[in-house]
């Protein structure tokens, strides 16, 4: 089985060809960082326009990279939720056109399910026997738009439940906002990760709201506000911007606070659920400190950590094609009335906003 996957939920235009065993035959990502960098964040309308310009090229490159034509694939899988609705609409309409023209089944995929199952992708055929998590496992999904901890009992959406999520900003969103405060450019996560390696994380011991509470819920907006207050008060007191030495220490302190919370809550969730296997996914899972913390904490507690390669953590169409292949094997396909949505199919138990629960 070969499935062509299309992903356009945010600012990366992606296409990939994956087989039923999860072997990635091709994986194309056309980024938009240069488009959004002047604005310090993603502009939805610009993202949609870039998807329109790039989608055809991404599909052509994916098919060519796999050495197949459209007639050779068995289905077209596409992200239809959650994400920026205009961006999703571009991918869905292109997938519908390709499926209609080639008389292929269409499979709509939830973006979050793709991230949680991306750990099963086989990107190096020479290591196809590499260990994979067993079911059930507990997964942390941390990205620019979503942050949550899930129990995954089987590789399908109706077997995934949220155990806890963020009440406000997603972890990746907090990274980008702090980077903007420190004038580090966009996207901010990779820059903070790089600078933090030479910084002193003990210099600014930021407290994270809900960081040490028993609940698996999280909150990152207050941490971002603490960094903003520090920058503002320093400017008022000294009359200048934050210097480079202080910037790297702020990056290290902020990153340590975020990754510490994510790793602790993930391990706590696994222990509560009586689950041995732990998985991370989403763009923030590319963060080197988070990857190291999760691995170290799991080693200490006798848990098995599965940390996918970075290319499987960030947005990609291979994970969408893989979930599409699994759905197709179960006989699940979508109709031509497939629509886009900013909301995930996965039930959410964490209510946004502050206040008592």
Residue 86 belongs to domain with CATH number: 3.30.420.40
Do 234 and 110 share a structural domain?
Answer: no
| Alpha-carbon distances, residue 30 vs 8, 203, 249 (angstroms) | 10, 38, 33
Per-residue pLDDT band at 170 (split at 50, 70, 90): very high
Residues 6+ positions from 58 with CB-CB distance below 8 Å: 6, 13, 14, 15, 28, 29, 30, 317
Do 304 and 316 share a structural domain?
Answer: no
Partners of 13 in beta bridges: 30
Do 146 and 69 share a structural domain?
Answer: no
Q: How many CA atoms lie within 13 A of 117 on its CB side?
A: 28
Do 219 and 109 share a structural domain?
Answer: no
Average pLDDT score over residue span 94-120: 98
Q: How many CA atoms lie within 13 A of 104 on its CB side?
A: 29
| Alpha-carbon distances, residue 40 vs 37, 84, 88, 136, 228 (angstroms) | 5, 17, 21, 39, 16
The span from the CA of 180 to the CA of 214, in Å, is 31
Structure token digits, residue 143? 């990205």
Task: Check: CB of residue 253 under 8 Å from CB of residue 201.
Answer: yes
Do 175 and 153 share a structural domain?
Answer: yes
Do 154 and 90 share a structural domain?
Answer: no
Per-residue pLDDT band at 262 (split at 50, 70, 90): very high
Task: Give this prediction's pTM.
Answer: 0.94
Answer yes or no: is 352 within a domain.
no
Do 291 and 212 share a structural domain?
Answer: yes
Percentage with pLDDT > 70 across the chain: 95
- pLDDT confidence of residue 142: 96
The span from the CA of 93 to the CA of 101, in Å, is 12
- pLDDT confidence of residue 352: 81
Q: What is the largest CA-CA distance in the chain?
A: 67
Answer yes or no: is 347 within a domain.
no
The span from the CA of 337 to the CA of 20, in Å, is 25
Do 212 and 91 share a structural domain?
Answer: no
Q: Indicate the range of 68-72, 208-212, 286-290 predicted with least confidence.
A: 208-212
- pLDDT confidence of residue 232: 83
Q: Indicate the range of 19-23, 121-125, 209-213 predicted with least confidence.
A: 209-213
- pLDDT confidence of residue 245: 81
Nearest to 10 by CA among 109, 113, 85: 85
pLDDT at 128 over 70: no
Structural domain containing residue 111: 2-123+312-329
Do 189 and 98 share a structural domain?
Answer: no
Structure token digits, residue 64? 């060519």
Answer yes or no: is 350 within a domain.
no
Answer yes or no: is 130 within a domain.
no
Per-residue pLDDT band at 131 (split at 50, 70, 90): confident
Do 271 and 149 share a structural domain?
Answer: yes
Nearest to 133 by CA among 110, 108, 109, 150: 150
pLDDT at 136 over 70: yes
Could you tell me which residue, 187 or 90, shows the higher pLDDT?
Answer: 90
Do 321 and 213 share a structural domain?
Answer: no
Answer yes or no: is 337 within a domain.
no
Do 271 and 322 share a structural domain?
Answer: no
Mean pLDDT of the chain: 93
Structure token digits, residue 130? 């590499």
Residue entry with tokens 């960082």: 33
- pLDDT confidence of residue 209: 81
Residue pLDDT, tens place only, 284-330: 999 999 999 999 999 999 999 999 999 999 999 999 999 999 999 99
Task: Check: CB of residue 253 under 8 Å from CB of residue 203.
Answer: yes
Per-residue pLDDT band at 233 (split at 50, 70, 90): confident
> Omega before 136 cis (within 30°)?
yes
Residue pLDDT, tens place only, 9-43: 999 999 999 999 999 999 999 999 889 988 888 89
The span from the CA of 90 to the CA of 7, in Å, is 10
DSSP structure class, residue 134: P
pLDDT at 239 over 60: no
> Omega before 278 cis (within 30°)?
no
Answer yes or no: is 61 within a domain.
yes
Answer yes or no: is 336 within a domain.
no
E strand or H helix at 19: strand 13-19
* Number of independent structural domains in the chain: 2
Average pLDDT score over residue span 181-191: 90
Answer yes or no: is 141 within a domain.
yes
The span from the CA of 255 to the CA of 201, in Å, is 8
């Amino acid at each position: 089985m070969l499935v062509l996957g299309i992903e356009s939920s945010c600012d990366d235009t992606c296409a990939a060809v994956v087989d039923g065993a999860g072997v990635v035959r091709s994986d194309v990502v056309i980024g938009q960082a240069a488009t959004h960098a002047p604005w310090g964040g993603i502009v939805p309308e610009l993202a949609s326009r870039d998807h329109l310009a790039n989608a055809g090229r991404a599909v052509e490159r994916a098919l060519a990279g796999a050495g197949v034509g459209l007639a050779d694939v068995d289905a077209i899988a596409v992200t239809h939720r959650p994400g920026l609705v205009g961006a999703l609409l571009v991918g869905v309409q292109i997938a519908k056109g390709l499926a209609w023209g080639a008389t292929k089944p269409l499979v709509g995929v939830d973006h979050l399910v793709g991230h949680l199952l991306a750990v099963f992708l086989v990107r190096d055929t020479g290591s196809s026997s590499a260990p994979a998590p067993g079911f059930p496992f507990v997964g942390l999904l941390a990205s620019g738009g979503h942050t949550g901890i899930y129990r995954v009992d089987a590789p399908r959406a109706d077997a995934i439940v949220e155990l806890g999520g963020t009440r406000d900003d997603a972890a990746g969103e907090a990274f980008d906002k702090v980077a903007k405060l420190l004038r580090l450019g966009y996207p901010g996560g990779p820059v903070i990760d790089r600078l933090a390696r030479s910084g002193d994380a003990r210099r600014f011991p930021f407290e994270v709201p809900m960081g040490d509470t028993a609940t698996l819920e999280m909150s990152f907006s207050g941490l971002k506000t603490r960094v903003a207050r520090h920058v503002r008060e320093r400017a008022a007191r000294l009359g200048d911007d934050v210097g480079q030495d202080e910037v790297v220490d702020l990056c290290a302190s902020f990153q340590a606070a975020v990754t510490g919370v994510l790793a602790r809550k993930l391990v706590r969730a696994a222990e509560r659920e009586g689950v041995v296997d732990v998985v991370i996914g989403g763009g923030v899972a590319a963060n080197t400190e988070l990857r190291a913390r999760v691995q170290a904490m799991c080693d200490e507690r006798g848990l098995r950590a599965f940390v996918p390669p970075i290319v499987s953590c960030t947005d990609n169409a291979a994970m969408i094609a893989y979930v599409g292949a699994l759905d197709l094997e179960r006989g699940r396909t979508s109709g031509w009335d497939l629509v886009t949505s900013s909301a995930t199919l996965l039930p959410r138990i964490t209510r946004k906003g502050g206040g008592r629960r």
